[in-house]
Amino acid sequence: MLFIPLLCVLVALSLGKPENYRLPKWTGLLYLPTTLLLLLVLTNDLHHPQADAIYKLSRAGIVTGSDKEHNCKPNTNIRRSEVAAILTRMMHANKRQSFALGETAEPNPAETKPEENTESLKFTQQPQSASAPKDGSASFTVAVTGGKKPYAYQWQSQSSKHGWADLTNDSRGTTAGADTPTLTISKSLDVAASLNYQFRCVVTDAEGTPVTSDAAKILLALDPLTITEQPESLRRHVGSAAAFTVAVCGGDGNYTYDWQVRHEDGLTEWASIPNAYNSSLYQNADQPTLTIYVSSTDQYDEAQYRCVISDGTGSTVTSNEVHVIVVTEQYDRPSITRP
């Protein structure tokens, strides 16, 4: 910046002159003011009245300069934050910094403030519906990020009988963790499931910004669908009835019965027996007990029967295969003789 005016004067003196024109010798005197000003700038720190004190504080790591290269500018105004930093380093030796002139300053970890999280508060983990036995326990967990810590957690519940309400921890252990990231519900889970209880968490950060999680519910763990009574093959005369019975337990209790028949000793596919199919021969094909009326020997020859039971969850079980043995021989009536 100091040499720009000098350059402008030299250019002005050279305008309109031939290429081999040489400036007169007196123009060399123009360099003197510029050179003098440059020396004053370069030696400004050396002749400042507080230079010794400034260098002493700098060597002690108390004053670190005004820029990244640690240059001191004593004639500039000092900011309040700089005053606070100087006073802190004077009082606490562990806050002082070590550096070399001309190097970029490395921040003191003790003075480095954590970067503020500008990300908005949001969930990184939503609660999931939990499956558990009626006498067990179910847990729901959330996780958040963003906002300003610390976070406050408040779990809520609603059922078919009431709206959303805050939960509290109770001494019986039925509800635990109502103000933590993980809520645990214990005991009487069948009641909670029957009333369609749902649970959610409201998380609030240090600035009072709330976010609400998705709702989750308790799913009762069901016993497996199991056949407790198998049908058995029967011997019947023509004109009589044969009844096959099956019994099940487990599942969700919403049972569907599908009695099926297969002819020719396994050479054909299993087929369902609808109630309307020759009702004079079959009844209650969608009930636990199937009734068959034996009308002839040929109709039941090599026929097999079974029942496929399913519940509301889609689980299925299949009974044993049974058949009707048609008895053709007639029993002799007992004769009565008089003495």
SS (H, E, C) the chain: CCCHHHHHHHHHHHCCCCCCCCCCHHHHHHHHHHHHHHHHHHCCCCCCCCHHHHHHHHHCCCCCCCCCCCCCCCCCCCCHHHHHHHHHHHHCHHHCCCCCCCCCCCCCCCCCCCCCCCCCCEEEECCCCEEECCCCEEEEECEEECCCCCCEEEEEEECCCCCCEECCCCCCCCEECCCCCEEEEECCHHHHHHCCCEEEEEEECCCCCEEECCCEEEEECCCCCEEEECCCCEEEECCCEEEEECEEECCCCCCEEEEEEECHHHCCCCEECCCCCCCCCEECCCCCEEEEECCCCHHHCCCEEEEEEECCCCCEEECCCECEEEECCCCCCCCCCCC
Tens digits of residue pLDDT in 152-206: 999 999 998 899 999 999 877 789 999 999 999 998 787 888 889 999 999 999 9
The pLDDT, as a whole number, for residue 215 is: 97
The pLDDT, as a whole number, for residue 204 is: 96
Residue 334 has pLDDT above 60, yes or no: no
Residue 134 has pLDDT above 50, yes or no: yes
Once rounded to an integer, what is the mean pLDDT over residues 257-273? 81
Tens digits of residue pLDDT in 267-296: 678 888 875 455 568 889 999 999 988 876
